[in-house]
Homo-oligomer: A and B are copies of this chain.
Amino acid sequence: MFESYETGRKVEKSEFEERAATLRPALLNAQFDSRTAGFPIVVLLSGNDRAGGNEMLDLFHEWLDARGFDTSVFRDVNDAERERPHFWRYWQALPARGRTGLLLTGWAGRRVYERGDGDLDDAEWEAHLRHVRALERELVADGTLLLKFWLHAPRKTLEKRFERADKDPDSEPYVEKTDEGVLKNWKGRWRAAEDLIRRTDTAWAPWRIVESSNRRARALDVFETLLSGLRWRLGMNSASGELAEPPAPQLPPLGTRRLQEVDLSATVAPEEYRERRRDLQGKLALLSRKARREKVATILVFEGWDAAGKGSAIRRLTQALAARDYAVTPIAAPTEDERRYHYLWRFWRAIPAAGHIRIFDRSWYGRVLVERVEGFATEAEWQRAYDEIRDFEEHLVEFGTVLEKFWLHISPEQQLARFQAREITPYKQHKITEEDWRNREKRPAYEAAVEEMIVRTGTSQAPWTVVSAEDKRHARLTVLETVVRALERAVG
């Protein structure tokens, strides 16, 4: 999940100063208004970047009116805390109505490291996640504006920082010797953090993951989200206690650039393609038979732009499979009968039996793509769908299902060329409709939806593979390779 954020993006000083110049007075005004409106604000600053969190705390005090803050930095447990239930210290740190609690790490800190380091067993970890969800729900239902930031620094950034601190401690005033623990058990803590974020990323208290290596970009991400959250909360009529159920805060689009970063120039030469394809299809044939024998189910999800080559990529898979082992399920708009059920119902029905492979040509992700963009689902519906989809896929993964999800990516220009080719090729004319042209107009809205989908539903258990599909051969090989690797992990 976190790789999605490792974009290495930077903000130049001039751009930063320009955006800060409008952001700062707007934030101050919103902070003042929120005091008058009288709701509490909780800002949770957590992540693997402790120094970055401390720098943000300083910026909060610099940019905003520090008199409204109750700042709590959670480090080691003190005596009073040790003698009480773990959450006692978080309750002590909660702000009164009209005030802002700045919590460094909070309930997304210590327990995450403990879990990552193997010091919390399953039951303790589940209890923690349950209590986090309960607490967040209670606070938001009570009128709190709750904003949760996970500051993610890539491993290289942290390594450099620790090196600098070793040479000259003054250059990195917030780095402490113990911080280096984050590198020692990188994978374990990463997994625990991802688990926490996935399981507590709710409609009412969504996480914002912020790439933390560039200070200016980080500050703008956090403060623009804060401003947007404040304005959304100020726009609500009920200042406190009157919310029957917590609504979803409206935050700006996430700062990911997964699609922009796809290397669309990737190509594969015809000969290389034939050879590797033959090799991969051979492996796939063997692995699929083994999966059948071992009763492992497989689900492959294909999403992507119109004309990105989903159909042809799927065919290169099925060429290697025995007809008895797989089925391809194309997903269109739900029928009248299907609309009489929960939108996930038709997908539950289509789950493959153990030992079978089910390929979805479009899928349940329509809820957060076409239904979101075209307004077929209300905002409340598609907002809660991320949580619902994660729960659905958890059922699959817990059952041992191999689950791979592909987004086939092409440029608008490539799409145009393919549309035009379809229009003049007789046997392809059925593949292009008025609707395809209309969807093309809405590309920016779709891009935002795709970014959010990848970030909020791409987990280590059920990852998204964003496929560079400008070159069809490259796309097909990427898909074949990903499926072969996944099956090798499961039955190889």
Interface residues of A (CB under 8 A from B): 40, 80, 82-88, 91-92, 94, 96-98, 121-123, 126-127, 130-131, 134-135, 138-139, 141-142, 144, 241-248, 295, 297, 337, 340-345, 348-349, 351-355, 378, 380-381, 384, 387-388, 391, 394-396, 398-399, 401
Contact = CB atoms under 8 A, between A and B. Distances in A.
Contacts of A391: 130-131, 134-135, 138
Contact of A353 (B84, B246, B352, B401): B84
A389 to B, nearest CB: 10
A91 B345 contact: yes
Oligomer: number of copies: 2
Nearest to A400: B85
**Taking each of A134, A244, A380, which has the highest tally of chain B beta carbons within 10 Å of its own beta carbon?**
A244
A346 to B, nearest CB: 10
A381 B399 CA distance: 38
A342 B387 CA distance: 26
A89 to B, nearest CB: 10
B96 A341 contact: yes
A109 B370 CA distance: 38
Nearest to A385: B138
B126 A349 contact: no
Nearest to A144: B342
A245 B246 contact: yes
Contacts of A394: 127, 131
Contacts of A351: 84-85, 88
A85 B403 CA distance: 13
A135 B391 CA distance: 9
Contacts of A141: 380, 384
A245 B247 contact: yes
B138 A354 contact: no
Contact of A122 (B40, B123, B245, B384): B123
A340 B97 contact: yes
